[in-house]
A and B are shown apart, each in its own frame.
Chain A
Amino acid sequence: MSQYKVVHCNINGQDVEKIVDVRASLTDMLRNEYHLTSVKKGCEVGECGACTVLIDGEAYNSCIYLAVWAEGKHIRTLEGLTGPNGELSDIQQAFIDETAIQCGFCTPGFILSASELLDSGKFYTDDELRKLLSGHLCRCTGYENILRAVKKTMYRRLGKEIDS
């Protein structure tokens, strides 16, 4: 009765394939088949942003994305941002340095959305940054230090002096 499909994709730089239940969300596939548990579940309807992953460079809520749609896609989870020897990327380090982490549950999603906007190489105003990050809910930080971490990293990457 169950329906399965082979899904080939590239996850965090590696070409992989698995037989997947067509009823699975991408969250289900990443957590259960690939043990990528940085992908968190906070609502399962695309409202909290905790399950955010990058698909071909764009941020998606993996909870409302069918696993079979990942066929042929490049997917990045937070695990893929860390270097082979556990080196942190600049944005991960900034989250630590700016105390942008508390319970840590929204953190993986936030860092991925942040890395998407940072990778654009563009400069954004505070209001633009707030909008670009508004698909993530956080109950611990009031978003304040998250904004600071992203902003500082953006300035650093663009070689600019921070104004505050």
Chain B
Amino acid sequence: MYDMKALYEAENVQDAIRLRLEHPEAQIIAGGSDVLVQMREGKRAGKELISIYRIDEMRGVTLDEDENVRIGSLTSFSHITRDPIIQKYVNVLGEAVDQVGSPQIRNIGTIGGNTCNGVTSADSASTLHALEAIVELTGKNGVRRIPIRDFYIKAGQVDIRAEEGEIQTAILIPKESYENCFGKYIKYGMRNAMEIASLGCSVNVRLSPDKKYIRRCRIAYGVAGPVPMRVPSAEAVANGSRPTQAMIDEFALAVLLDIRPRDSWRASKAFRQHIAVEMARRALTEAILRAGGVIE
């Protein structure tokens, strides 16, 4: 039994916006795998909740008119992984969210909840950053779309305007980010399941048609700083380069210029730096191979 003050259940998006405006102190609950856990811990005890769990219009994956992949915010991780559109265009995202917690958590956990939490360790976050995803927010004044890197403000805080009744309704992967792109997500954990990432690294590449050059490379990390982050210094090394072992090594070392991991009881800064370099090396190598390239 949860120590909950009240529960408001939204039937649809407009209903959710209304409830949000009526109860500005209330916490939105999507799948609950974070919110309910925090409520039990005492962090959110005694709070009102607005449940959006039953808004089915916010579930599912589609291609929009511009061929962007549109993922409803309430789509569960397991449904993302199994979705044919995801598998065809952005399989790396399906692979990434297939590493969240456990099968049961992947059935209840939603991509919207995973991002709205604002935590750096979210398994979807680094891949969404590498894919330059767009976050769609719907409020009383309609729809607002922002790049995912702007969505994250600081640890635990994202750009959702409660005063405008906003909720996150979708995440879009632009065609430009996935077309002819191949990616690899590596989660570093202390065990192989039921795990929170010590570090997550996602790399995405597009090779030239002859596979001789890297046309576009994106790399992003979770847990390398207070929020998920891109690594421009490493991307600069890879963009336009030939896929050589020397380039990959240089790319990997360059991540140290941008990442800002910290010491905590979960892992030391030195350890995270070491792993970050190794993960960059492995993720880029695998992404190039998946794109049909050959490491020279």
Chain A positions near chain B (C-beta within 8 angstroms): 3, 21-25, 28, 44-47, 49, 52, 58-61, 64-66, 68-69, 71, 113, 131-137
Q: How far is the CB of B195 from chain A (nearest CB, A)?
A: 10
Contact of A68 among B6, B7, B102, B193 (CB under 8 A): B7
Q: Which chain A residues border B101 with CB–CB below 8 Å? A: 46, 135
Say if the beta carbon of B63 comes within 8 Å of chain A: no
Q: Which residues of B contact A136 (CB under 8 A)?
A: 102
Question: In the complex, A131 Cα to B101 Cα: how many Å?
Answer: 11
Residues in B with CB closer than 8 Å to A52 are 104
Which residues of chain A are near B51, meaning CB under 8 Å?
66, 68-69
Chain A nearest Cβ from B181, distance in angstroms: 26
- The verdict on A61 contacting B1 (CB below 8 Å), with A46-B101, A134-B103 known, is no
- Bound together, the chains give a CA A95 to CA B9 distance in angstroms of 40
Chain B residue total in the interface (Cβ 8 A) = 27
Q: Is B105 within 8 A of A46, CB to CB?
A: yes
Minimum Cβ distance to chain B for residue A48 (Å): 9
The smallest beta-carbon distance between A50 and chain B, in angstroms, is 11
Which of these binds chain A: B31-39, B171-179, B254-262? B31-39
A135 and B102 in contact, given A64-B36, A66-B32 (Cβ under 8 angstroms): yes
Q: State whether A61 touches B7 (Cβ < 8 A).
A: no
Residue B53 interfacial (CB < 8 Å) = yes
> Across the two chains, which residue of chain A brings its CB closest to B98?
A131
Q: How far is the CA of A25 from the CA of B37 in the complex (A)?
A: 12
Contact between chains at A65 and B193 (CB < 8 Å): no
A64 to B104, CA, bound (A): 10
Q: Which residues of B contact A24 (CB under 8 A)?
A: 1-2
Contact A135/B7 with A25-B1, A25-B2, A69-B51 known, Cβ cut-off 8 Å = no
